[in-house]
Structure 1
């Protein structure tokens, strides 16, 4: 049963259904992070985690989506090898791709907040492509420029340009899956 207002939370805490959905989304994010490969000219990885983040945002209310992605980042930070490339630890959170990791919970919250109440591929696609993709790049670009001490253009060429086409396709796939899953959950 979906709540009428996506921001409503039970007063006593999470329901079993909420925790189950969060755990499934967290596991899906961990699994999709393993589908990744490096590019020779950037420290960033091409990863299927983009699908996991978008799907989490589309099937969970905003607060639960934020908590799920914050938990993912926390678990990776304490050493579980769940980050893209099968690594974990603080090194990823202090390196040139740190901005992506810190941005994901906020991006997930924003996508979930703006997805609306109606289950619509068009709306989901717009939210994942116009909010998810560019807002993810903001953090990644800032950390790339700061940590590697390069200019904005060079940072853009390492943190954004090689990934745009693939990330738009992955965002559209997340929107497609989000519609299917939410229709299933409404039954």
Structure 2
């Protein structure tokens, strides 16, 4: 009996040891697959994958919410999706970002939109741009990271109805952006 359980105990300890030694919770990592692509995302510390809603499970995206429950109206949500600008006839990432800004600004009813590009964070990768969208009329506050090139990129959004909660979650947005990696090479042809 001991010979059979020893390998299981060793494997469990090797998986759980970092969490036992550290006060940090285990981070969740998942592979999200879509049509011709897959990517791996790791939940930032203090966040978890949101998969409680059946509609979310059938999407080709990843959603994250804080581990600690907050007031629903103030809960920030992180969302990752893959985008393929060249397939859509968009020449580069900057044109994609400008298209997003124009699309958001023209929504109905018209927004009083403030758009700010955050300074570059070299440690997040050379091809990462952060843009903050604030609509004070509807109390919607967003930060969006665009990471990639014209062939394929990640669009990671942080959405919240409270500016302070959004601003406090930007480090988690950056942590999520740094964790993203393509699993396949299908779209690099």
Query: What TM-score, normalized by structure 1, do the two folds share?
Result: 0.33
Highest CA radius of gyration, 1 or 2? 2
Point out the structure with the larger helix share. Answer: 1
Which is strand-richer, 1 or 2? Answer: 2
